[in-house]
Amino acid sequence: QVQLQESGPGLVKPSETLSLTCAVSGYSVISGYYWGWVRQPPGKGLEWIGTIYHSGSTYYNPSLQSRVTMSVDTSKNQFSLKLRSVTATDTAVYYCARVAVGGQTDFWGQGTLVTVSS
Amino acid sequence: QSALTQPASVSGSPGQSITISCTGTSSDVGGYDYVSWYQQHPGKAPKVMIYDVSKRPSGVSNRFSGSKSGNTASLTISGLQAEDEADYYCCSFTSITTYVFGTGTKVTVL
């Protein structure tokens, strides 16, 4: 069974960098799917952050592109998200997910709440 | 990219059918057969209910169906059940090779 697990600090200070990792088990990150990040501010809707392929190709939400970097570590079977210069509006539950061509995300992590506050 | 437009809320009685619309543009919903629908219960991760406009993943009830006409996609839930009460989001591939979610619809079973 494919499982994804997010990890990283739950509290980040304004202007600093949010860093999250998604560990994948039960499936190899190089086996043909894309990998993505989605976030959801408290009480609000879902927002697509971006997707990455194991080759390193990345596709970012234009509204976040200037602050986002995604990467894949095939040796550890995991992928990561970095969001720079965060503000309170970046406070959200961050989900990682397996993404098929066309956007079907069939496996999700449980989500991790990241709060931006001093 | 702007979020796709969904009604804020839809309600129905048990056994009835409801339809949720998802309106985009020719650069997303209208341009590709890559629309998916997600169900999200409070405090839980989203679950895919429909992908590629009208395909249903294994294990998803056949009470859920999807369609598309022009720039608008739709999710229909037939035989509404109490367990269907949740938030629903559409999602579309876009012309700039990203994805965009809808604004979300709260489904209430009366």
In chain A, the percentage of residues whose pLDDT exceeds 90 is 92
Query: Among A13, A1, A17, A20, which residue's Cα sits nearest to residue A111?
Result: A20
Residues A68-74 have a mean pLDDT of 96
Lowest mean pLDDT among A35-39, A99-103, B20-24: A99-103
Side-chain half-sphere of A26: how many Cα atoms within 13 Å?
Answer: 8
Cβ–Cβ < 8 Å for A30, A54: yes
pLDDT level of residue B53 (50, 70, 90 thresholds): very high
In chain B, the percentage of residues whose pLDDT exceeds 70 is 100
Q: Closest approach of chain B CAs to the CA of A35, in angstroms?
A: 12
Q: With beta carbons under 8 A apart, name residues in chain A contacting B92.
A: 103
pLDDT level of residue A48 (50, 70, 90 thresholds): very high
For residue A34, what are the contacts with CB-CB under 8 A and spacing of at least 6?
A51, A52, A53, A98, A99, A100, A101
pLDDT level of residue B1 (50, 70, 90 thresholds): confident
The per-residue pLDDT for range B70-97, each reduced to its tens digit, is: 999 999 999 999 999 999 999 999 988 8
Chain-chain contact of A109 with B102 (C-beta, under 8 angstroms): no
The one-letter code for the residue type at A50 is G
Q: Closest approach of chain A CAs to the CA of B34, in angstroms?
A: 5
Query: Among A95, A98, A109, A110, which residue's Cα sits nearest to residue A46?
Result: A95
pLDDT of residue B45: 96
The one-letter code for the residue type at B75 is L
Q: Which of B1, B34, B104 shows the shortest C-beta gap to A102? A: B34
For residue A66, what are the contacts with CB-CB under 8 A and spacing of at least 6?
none
Q: Which tokens sit at B17? A: 């059918």
Q: Which of B32, B46, B51 shows the shortest C-beta gap to A46? A: B46
**A100 in contact with B, Cβ within 8 Å:** yes
Alpha helices in chain A (DSSP H): none
